[in-house]
Amino acid sequence: MAEQCYHCGDQIVGKTVVYDEHPFCCNGCKSVYQLLEEHSLHAFYDYEQQAGTKPGKINSYEFDFLDVPEIRRKYIDFEDAHRARVTMHLPDIHCSSCIYLLENIHRINPHIQSSFIQFTKKEASFQFDPEALKLSELAELLSSIGYKPRFGSLGANQKKADRSFLYKMGIAGFAFGSIMLWTFPEYLGLSEDFLPFRNFTSYLSLLVSIPVLLYSASDYFKSAWKALQNKYLNLDVPVALGIITLYGQSLWSILNEQGSGYMDSFSGFIFFLLIGKWFQQRGYQAMNFERDYSAYFPVAVQRIRKGNETELVEIDRLEIGEHIRIRNDEIVPCDAILLDENAQIDYSFVTGESVIADIHQNDHIYAGGKIIGQAARFEVLEKTKRSQLTRMWNMSSSQKEELQKDKQQRNISRYFLTAVLVIALISAVSWFFLDQSQVMHVVVSVLIVTCPCALALSAPFTYGNMMRLLGRKGLYLKNADVVKQLNQCTDIVFDKTGTLSSIRQQVHFEGKETLNETERCLLSRLCENSTHPHAQGILEWILKDSSSSSCAPWTMSDYLEQVGKGISANFHSPGGASVSMRLGTSSWIGAEQNNDRPEVSSYLSINGTSKGRFIFESEFPEELKDTLQHLRSYQLHVLTGDKERDLEKLQQIFPETSVMKFRQSPEDKYEYVKALQAKGSKVLMLGDGLNDSGALHEAWTGIAICDELGHFSPSSDAITDRHGLILLPDYLKNVRFAKRIMNVCLIFSALYNLVGLSFAVSGQLSPLVAAILMPLSSLSIVLITSLSVWKLAPGISEKK
């Protein structure tokens, strides 16, 4: 048996290249091995044996086009003086070793700062130093280790692949029809009278079957061979074995002039397999959950109208050239130019590193940056790409969990397919003694009809459909796996302010003297930069009683917002006067606090002098009590930074077993959730996405409650508005229904395989019928999940 290359696993043809006592098929594979060893990446071969991809020949000028500024900008997702991020399509990613190597590519070239691999999409995002490493050099490095990036239009590549698939299906269909026509006399029992004609048509059948074997069925052979090289079984292994068995027996019959054998079944088998695959692909495209999800992505932004007034609009409605206003802690939804003199921005959502950068007027700002401090005005450069924001949001997901899931599915497939092969072998031996003419039919039918793909499809289609349904009803999930996470939750933790209670309409000021027009105007300027519920409540209170613009000439500087404490800024008039203003907790502004008065308050100081406080009356939705009663099966918790003023109200609407904790800082909330999960609880956290970002991120599932869906929280797994909180029992009921659909799919898949296997083993199922039934089982799962979710799922009240 020919040796296999230690790196890529290909059989070595010709002279073996030996290095470090390992055989290699070429110097390219040897060079990659040397490169990995030099940088202590030998663990690459521990994940999967012979898992490497053979590097192709690299033209030193092949990627020079990536250094042309106009072309380069098309591929760069983000760039500043020290960092650039690019996403590339790497079609040769195929196993855990690939992920290990690409995750550690910074050890080969230290100018690559980080990498993130999306295994299912075969995409990789790289962050690198643009001053030290060109984009073309990054592409060359990837090519040199066997992961040549593919540039160009994904749509064009898809059309090319579609045409190739149709050609394969057409050739198989032509061969099937022709062979059926030529072998028709055999079905009528006339072939014995026309042996020369029968032998002639048998050779014709062999001739037209060759392109079917080598071209139409090639994908199944490639997939099965790659799986066997990496020492695991996939769904194409038994299919490939069935094809070889059927074709081999037919070839033997033709060469021995015993007729065309099963050549008609062989060509029909490939033809119907490809038809089923085509229908599956159409189904996947029709149910492109990510595309549909992106269309629901609920990010809104303040658009500036004439007269400097603002309106909240969905990001899809933004046009190039329009002006938008982004407040503190809000995400810039599209590429834009800064209109103000300066601002501060944090690109941690894009780069993963929380580094605050100073930006200046006319600077190019990339989508995904988060404004820190004073609100800033921008001019829209490009229309928003929701899919780009979606990809950033999903990058916070653990790819190790995705890889672990893939390994679990691979183990299930391995055991299932091993059992199928054993059953096929036992059936072959049994029928050899019963009726040798039936051996081929039985073996091929067993290999084809038993297929776990119906079960494999049930999870993505059930969860994907449910994600779309919930999105249409106001709960927007990061990905389909969040449906499964919600189903596993045991505890629900609520923040109070901005989540359970709405405080904007219940504000009044308490102080030694009232605020004059200038002070009120400056305070509104301070509050409009923040998205915190207290600041927005005060802003509405001011605008309700006054529309004065008496402070228009004043400029603001040194805006600061500290989570859990408050906001501050300095104002300067044209005449040289200055005002320092602080709004927040009593300790933040240095005011005396009366612990005997538990009102929820925000204190105001001007030029270091306490002016009084704003008192907020909590207002809970009327439907909240009924909502919480429907959640009694969960352990409920309330965490709030407020005092105990609302304790009595909360006790009236929450079940008696609920746990309530007051005076909780953002750090306290985080530690509380962490402690719950350490005890084995799986926490569903609901917060406003600002002070609760740490707890939302730590929870098993985090839902950000966002008024008007304008404040996007990357820390959360889902987003909804206040009405979504009332619908939470309906959402969770639908999630439980999704689990029941999964159980139905499991039963269907088991029954299909048992019934199909019994017919195949008993010799009552032809390979042709098995080839038709296999894709039908997958399509049945698609129909079951889709119809169940969209027609039978529990009703959800329409959003108000």
The model's pLDDT over 379-417, given as tens digits with 9 standing for 90+, comes to 998 877 666 676 667 665 544 445 445 555 555 666 777
- CA atoms of 646 and 359, how far apart (whole Å): 43
Q: Above 80 in pLDDT, residue 697?
A: yes
Q: Above 70 in pLDDT, residue 543?
A: yes
- CA atoms of 207 and 28, how far apart (whole Å): 38
- CA atoms of 613 and 583, how far apart (whole Å): 9
- CA atoms of 59 and 53, how far apart (whole Å): 18
**Are the C-beta atoms of residues 749 and 454 closer than 8 Å to each other?**
yes
The CA-atom distances, in angstroms, between 396 and each of 119, 348, 743 are 14, 11, 30
- CA atoms of 92 and 53, how far apart (whole Å): 7
pLDDT confidence of 191, banded at 50, 70, 90?
low
pLDDT confidence of 246, banded at 50, 70, 90?
confident
Q: Above 80 in pLDDT, residue 536?
A: yes
- CA atoms of 670 and 687, how far apart (whole Å): 12
The CA-atom distances, in angstroms, between 302 and each of 44, 150, 264, 503, 710 are 49, 38, 66, 21, 8
**pLDDT value for 53:** 72
- Three-state secondary structure call for residue 788: helix
**pLDDT value for 297:** 53
Cβ neighbours of residue 143 closer than 8 Å, sequence gap 6 or more: 55, 56, 58, 62, 63, 149
Cα 425 to chain center, whole Å?
Answer: 41
Q: Pick the range with the lowest mean pLDDT from 134-143, 691-700, 769-778.
A: 769-778
Burial class from Cβ neighbours inside 10 Å (0-12, 13-18, 19+) for residue 748 reads middle
**pLDDT value for 290:** 46
Radius of gyration of the chain (CA): 33
For strands 22-24 and 84-89, give the pairing.
unpaired
**Are the C-beta atoms of residues 704 and 451 closer than 8 Å to each other?**
no
Alpha helix locations (H) across 498-561?
A: 517-527, 533-545
The CA-atom distances, in angstroms, between 581 and each of 558, 584, 723 are 11, 10, 35
**pLDDT value for 700:** 92
Stretch 260-274: mean pLDDT: 80
Cα 780 to chain center, whole Å?
Answer: 25
pLDDT confidence of 257, banded at 50, 70, 90?
confident
**pLDDT value for 315:** 80
Question: Rounded to the nearest 10 degrees, how much is the dihedral formed by the CA atoms of 406, 407, 410, 414?
Answer: -170
Q: Above 80 in pLDDT, residue 330?
A: yes
Q: Above 80 in pLDDT, residue 609?
A: yes
Higher confidence at residue 740 or residue 119? 740
- CA atoms of 778 and 635, how far apart (whole Å): 39
**pLDDT value for 294:** 47
CA atoms within 13 A on the CB side of 372: 15
Q: Above 90 in pLDDT, residue 728?
A: yes
- CA atoms of 64 and 496, how far apart (whole Å): 56
Q: Above 70 in pLDDT, residue 285?
A: no
Biggest CA-to-CA distance, the chain: 117
Q: Pick the range with the lowest mean pLDDT from 50-59, 73-82, 710-719.
A: 50-59
Q: Above 80 in pLDDT, residue 450?
A: no
**pLDDT value for 605:** 92
pLDDT confidence of 746, banded at 50, 70, 90?
confident
**pLDDT value for 378:** 94
Cβ neighbours of residue 13 closer than 8 Å, sequence gap 6 or more: 2, 25
Q: Pick the range with the lowest mean pLDDT from 252-266, 367-381, 629-643, 721-735.
A: 252-266
Question: What are the tens digits of pLDDT across the range 39-53?
Answer: 888 778 766 666 667
Stretch 488-517: mean pLDDT: 82
**pLDDT value for 749:** 82
Measuring CA to CA, which residue among 67, 86, 76 is closest to residue 126? 86
DSSP E strands in 204-307: the ranges are 300-304
**pLDDT value for 764:** 86
DSSP E strands in 586-730: the ranges are 600-606, 609-616, 635-639, 659-661, 683-687, 701-705, 718-720
Please state at what angle helix 289-296 crosses helix 386-394, rounded to 10 degrees.
110
CA angle, 435 then 265 then 443, to 5°:
40
**pLDDT value for 158:** 57
Measuring CA to CA, which residue among 568, 579, 571, 577 is closest to residue 555? 571
**pLDDT value for 569:** 92
- Three-state secondary structure call for residue 343: strand
Q: Checking phi first, is residue 33 left (phi over 0); if not, alpha (psi -120 to 50) or beta?
A: alpha
Neighbours of 251 (CB within 10 A): 16
Cβ neighbours of residue 358 closer than 8 Å, sequence gap 6 or more: 342, 343, 344
CA atoms within 13 A on the CB side of 15: 4
pLDDT confidence of 681, banded at 50, 70, 90?
very high
Strand order in the sheet with 578-584: 507-510, 609-616, 600-606, 578-584, 566-572, 555-562
Cβ density class 125-136: b for 16+ within 10 Å, e for less: bbbbebeebbbb
Q: Above 90 in pLDDT, residue 679?
A: yes
**Are the C-beta atoms of residues 538 and 583 closer than 8 Å to each other?**
yes
Q: Above 80 in pLDDT, residue 423?
A: yes
**pLDDT value for 160:** 62
Cβ density class 452-482: b for 16+ within 10 Å, e for less: bbbbbbbbbbbbbbbbbbbbebbbbbbbbbb
Stretch 208-237: mean pLDDT: 81
Structure token digits, residue 116: 């993130």
- CA atoms of 499 and 707, how far apart (whole Å): 9
Q: Above 60 in pLDDT, residue 618?
A: yes
- CA atoms of 247 and 10, how far apart (whole Å): 25
- CA atoms of 721 and 734, how far apart (whole Å): 18
Structure token digits, residue 639: 């965490």
- CA atoms of 208 and 683, how far apart (whole Å): 61
Q: Which amino acid is at 518?
A: T
Q: Pick the range with the lowest mean pLDDT from 172-181, 261-270, 433-442, 791-800.
A: 791-800
Cβ neighbours of residue 468 closer than 8 Å, sequence gap 6 or more: 289, 292, 293, 296
Q: Pick the range with the lowest mean pLDDT from 84-88, 249-253, 410-414, 680-684.
A: 410-414
**Are the C-beta atoms of residues 384 and 311 closer than 8 Å to each other?**
no
Stretch 669-693: mean pLDDT: 87
Q: Which amino acid is at 547?
A: S
Q: Phi/psi at 623 (nearest 5 deg)?
A: -80, -5
Measuring CA to CA, which residue among 206, 204, 207, 219 is closest to residue 169? 219
Mean residue pLDDT of the chain comes to 80
Q: Above 80 in pLDDT, residue 565?
A: yes
pLDDT over 70 percentage in the chain? 82
Neighbours of 405 (CB within 10 A): 14
Higher confidence at residue 115 or residue 715? 115
Q: First-to-last CA distance in the chain?
A: 71
- CA atoms of 503 and 725, how far apart (whole Å): 16
Residue 84, strand partner residues: 79, 128
**pLDDT value for 188:** 58
Structure token digits, residue 734: 């639908």
**pLDDT value for 800:** 43
pLDDT confidence of 659, banded at 50, 70, 90?
very high
Structure token digits, residue 149: 């990036």
Cβ neighbours of residue 785 closer than 8 Å, sequence gap 6 or more: 458, 461, 462, 465, 741, 745
pTM of this prediction? 0.70
Q: Above 70 in pLDDT, residue 254?
A: yes
Q: Above 50 in pLDDT, residue 295?
A: no
**pLDDT value for 691:** 67
Q: Above 70 in pLDDT, residue 282?
A: no
**Are the C-beta atoms of residues 639 and 691 closer than 8 Å to each other?**
no
Q: Above 90 in pLDDT, residue 23?
A: no
pLDDT confidence of 572, banded at 50, 70, 90?
very high
- CA atoms of 484 and 492, how far apart (whole Å): 16
- CA atoms of 480 and 785, how far apart (whole Å): 14
